[in-house]
Amino acid sequence: MINVIGLGYIGLPTALMLASHGVKVVGTDCNRALVDELNAGRLSFEEKGLNELFSAAVNAGIRFTHEYQKADMYIVAVPTPYDKRSKKLDACYIVSAVKEIMKVSSKGAIVVLESTVSPGTVDKYIRPVLKSGGMVIGKDINLAHAPERIIPGNMIHELKFNARTIGADNPDIAEKVKAVYSTFCEGEIVTTDICTAEMTKVVENTYRDINIAYANELAKICRSDNMDVYEIIRIANMHPRVNILSPGPGVGGHCISVDPWFLVGDYPGLANIILAARKINDSMPEFVLERIHDVMKERGLKDVTRVGLYGITYKEDVDDVRESPTLQMLECMEKHLAHGVKVYDPWVKRDIVENQYHDLDKFLDEVDMVVILVGHSELKDNMHKLRGKIILDTRNVCDLDGVYRL
């Protein structure tokens, strides 16, 4: 039996996928309200294909509880935030999970850490906890790291088809973990040591962060001299060895905007490009505010309450607002005592900010200027409704005339 610890954006789909492919699974989360919702047949977030997967897993016998179970394998998918001062990983959640596992685990059980962590985390935090509890690693308990590689909006497909990395102390344990993931994963599964697996996942997200930062810095450079960054990128990308990404209002989500800080915190003085990229991407919400100010001034719009922000989530067609550029921007406005801007997102059903709307037409009726921060499909299908509005498009998705861009 496998006990999946943490039933959030990663743990829940993983547990459901395993259960629906014939593995006996119990999902555990410390949030009792979440567990109650799952046991009542209600999902905690929206995701394409998740309802069908949930039904299949329930029919296969998956259970949800707030208690840790005696199991042969534990898959730990709990949050791994970073300390905003030191930039280092905060390992409190994974340490807490391991301590609870120690109380109930079978002899020889395998603990698989799925949460993304900085290189050396297992050595620095997990092994000492196990040893201090009197456990012999490799005998009483075994360790592995299998970092997730999925993205909200395409989770089910990527769980099935993305390649995976499994790090373990010895090849036999790696193969046992590989066999479990092979029940549903059709992508290549590579086995290696734990530290390499830890570093590989962080490197992947850092690579993307740096590439996004390059595009965002180009946007700033081009804006300073009134050049069209999108046309420049389009032409540059015709080169067979150039692939510049599109600039945007910032970087959100719990991976790309967080994981590079692990390297900055652990390797100060060495992670220089990584630090510069993080600073560039973190500066984009404020850059968008400057663009809003410039456009308002040009168009003679003085009332900020007539400005509407379209999009709260960190990317299109998901309900995930973690590290959202829109929320970062609103926080910046709050610091400057700027209030009254309207906000709307079709994917965010509950009120999480002031002046949040839940109907597109009502939102548009109340604003003269629309700032596109997320390119949801709903907007793309209703772009005609923006005619007559002042539009600042930070995602390059609007093809109406007279649109302002980054």
Catalytic positions, written as ranges: 201, 255
Q: Cα(369)–Cα(308) distance, rounded to whole angstroms?
A: 6
Cβ proximity of 64 and 39 under 8 Å: yes
Classify residue 133 by its DSSP letter.
T
Q: Hey, what amino acid is at 38? A: L
Q: Beta strands of 263-357 (E only): which ranges?
A: 307-310, 342-344, 356-357
Closest CA to 369 of 298, 304, 286: 304
CA 16 to chain centre: 19
Closest CA to 141 of 186, 104, 166: 104
Q: Which residues of 215-229 are buried (b: 16+ CB within 10 A; e: fewer)?
A: bbbbbbebbeeeeeb
Q: Beta strands of 128-181 (E only): which ranges?
A: 141-145, 164-168
